[in-house]
Chain A
Amino acid sequence: DVKVTQSSRYLVKRTGEKVFLECVQDMDHENMFWYRQDPGLGLRLIYFSYDVKMKEKGDIPEGYSVSREKKERFSLILESASTNQTSMYLCASSWGSASPLHFGNGTRLTVT
């Protein structure tokens, strides 16, 4: 069974802090994704990566960056956290084009 592990379940940070969210998958998947989930807004794509060191902007990349130095690991970085980035962040991976996403358990980030 595919396992996608997010490093933190809950995180509380202060405005202006640099925040790292880590995600690791164990199935040698090519694609990795970061979504944020907010009530009434569904799942919105922040960034995705289809290969090591490759990244593509999703629908809401502003205020975020990503890093994929190894195939199994995809990091989301908030350069300077703001209160409007308080949200649930979901990492996902998939083996190829048009294939199911496997999600992690999510990180609930609160920025105060």
Chain B
Amino acid sequence: GENVEQHPSTLSVQEGDSAVIKCTYSDSASNYFPWYKQELGKRPQLIIDIRSNVGEKKDQRIAVTLNKTAKHFSLHITETQPEDSAVYFCAASRSGGSNYKLTFGKGTLLTVNP
């Protein structure tokens, strides 16, 4: 099955700095890579996702890059703000068929210091 490794497990940055979280996956057939943000005491929520036919996707201060050859993808947050503080999870899955399931990384606790 799929295995997703996520680094770092904790990340502390100053407000305004950039933050980068990296994930690797094992299943070369995986083609869907979402990122979820979980604030303290709340449910995980999708913030951005990318599919294997795209190398990069941006949404305001958030971007995700995908390297299919190396089987890794990264989340980039620019101009970080205190409200970006949360746990971030990457995930990977195949698409198609009935066997759709997301495999998550273990999460990164991001702390943005004012």
Contacts and interface: CB of A to CB of B under 8 A. Distances in A.
Interface of A: 31, 33, 35, 40-45, 48, 50-51, 54, 56, 58-59, 90, 94, 96-98, 100-101, 103-106
A99 B62 CA distance: 19
A43 B44 contact: yes
A112 B61 CA distance: 44
Interface residues of B, number: 30
30 contacts: A33-B101, A33-B102, A42-B6, A42-B104, A42-B106, A43-B89, A43-B104, A44-B104, A45-B101, A45-B102, A48-B101, A50-B98, A56-B98, A56-B99, A56-B101, A59-B103, A90-B44, A94-B100, A97-B94, A97-B97, A98-B93, A98-B94, A98-B95, A98-B100, A100-B34, A101-B46, A101-B102, A103-B45, A105-B42, A105-B43
Contacts of B102: 33, 45, 101
B81 interface: no
Q: Is the interface of A mostly helix, strand, loop or mixed?
A: loop
Given A45-B102, A97-B96, A103-B43, 6 more contacts: A42-B104, A42-B107, A43-B44, A45-B101, A48-B101, A98-B94
A66 to B, nearest CB: 13
Contact of A59 (B1, B9, B100): B1
B68 interface: no
A49 B30 CA distance: 19
